[in-house]
A and B are shown apart, each in its own frame.
Chain A
Amino acid sequence: MIRVFALVATLTAITILILVVRFKLLGTDDHRRSIPEQPNPAKSLLMFLLTLPVLVAAVVAMARGLLMPMIGNAIGYGLLLGGAWLLWRGLVSEAAYARRLIAKTPFPLKAVGGGLIGLGTGLTAWLGVGHHPGIAFAFGLVALLGCRLFYGGDPVAAKRVTAASGLDTTDQVLAALGQAERAIAAVEQSSRDIRQPELNQRLRRVAALAREILTLLEEDPRDLRRARKFLNVYLDGVQRVVEGYARTHQRAASPDLDANFRRVLTSIEEVFQEQRRKLLESDIMDLDVQIEVLTSQLKREGLL
């Protein structure tokens, strides 16, 4: 029995070591990008794998009728698992925060997760292993410090945006962008139910264009007023049409309906391309005006 556990322990330790060295210390493609799309998987998995022996210990203690170690290990594992989950959610939230140009301050998930890991480690060391409470406290403290150093702190400052009038419009911009993103996600979800490669490809293009427009709006939220029609009318319309087509398409195939839907998608794509062009043009116009102002200022001062 002990030999089997020793073997499992050794294999798990080797797996952790390989994962950590491969993804964390050597780095992945994600690290080469300036802003990661998703958190490092090895970083997220580490804590889940590292705490597994406590679960096995709780089961073995229960099987052998050892009350105190069983309670200590079970509660300790619950805390460790909760902490690992919060740390993982914290990493996901941090990656999303890094991707956005406008964002609210996220909840300090990593700090709470680190606290739970510290608490779980201390409790396991005290009740599960039988260490002196002082030593168990030291275990918890070292675990907490390790989490803080390895996973880093949570983002503390919000990425805010203010209108020309000086009003803080962060909430309005985030609400508009969030609604638009939900509509795009719904379109993508419905397109999975449509079994026509050509239409799927067209829908993917439409979704990609819509996301590009949202990125442009996020970069310059002043354009939000100009893009209101796109956000409120077109995106909602696209969502309704695609959802309706996906539902009908599953029940019965109709060539007329397919042709109509293809036509609608072509028009939508054209409208989206036009919207993107307008947003880019307004940026170029802004730049032209700025260059003109700067040139006249330099001329006035006799530098040109």
Chain B
Amino acid sequence: MPSFPRKVLGLLLILAAVGVASWQALAVSCSSPAAAAETTRHAARHAEPRETHP
């Protein structure tokens, strides 16, 4: 791939991943306590093994 489009694509991907994750993290930290608590619960739920129903 030529250098210029490769770099532009790379820049867009960096902005889409690193930029979005950074600003989302900031938005979640500044959001209402209920939303933040939901995030905490959500992360903890995925961190623990899931319960299996009989």
* A interface residues (Cβ-Cβ under 8 A, vs B): 1-2, 5, 9, 20, 24-25, 46-47, 50-54, 56-58, 60-61, 64, 66-69, 72-73, 76, 80, 117, 121, 124-130, 132-133, 139-140, 142-143, 145-151
Contact A25 B8 (CB under 8 A): yes
5 closest Cβ pairs, A-B complex: A150-B10, A149-B10, A146-B13, A130-B39, A128-B25
Task: Give the A-B contact count at a CB cut-off of 8 A.
Answer: 138
Instruction: List B1-47 residues whose CB lies under 8 Å from chain A.
Output: 6-26, 28-30, 33, 36-40, 42-44, 46
A–B Cβ pairs within 8 angstroms, 30 of them: A1-B30, A9-B23, A9-B26, A50-B18, A51-B18, A53-B25, A54-B25, A56-B26, A57-B22, A61-B29, A67-B40, A68-B39, A73-B29, A76-B25, A117-B18, A121-B21, A124-B22, A125-B21, A129-B25, A130-B39, A130-B43, A132-B46, A133-B46, A142-B13, A143-B21, A145-B10, A146-B13, A146-B15, A146-B17, A150-B10
| Chain A residues closer than 8 Å to B44, beta-carbon distance | 68
A51 to B29, CA, bound (A): 15
Selected contact of B26 from candidates A53, A117, A126, CB within 8 Å:
A53
**Which partner residue on chain A sits nearest B39 by CB separation?**
A130
Q: Interface size of B by Cβ–Cβ distance < 8 Å?
A: 34
Contact of B17 among A2, A64, A142 (CB under 8 A): A142
Task: Give complex CA distance A52, B23 in Å.
Answer: 9
User: Residues of B at under 8 Å CB distance from A?
Assistant: 6-26, 28-30, 33, 36-40, 42-44, 46
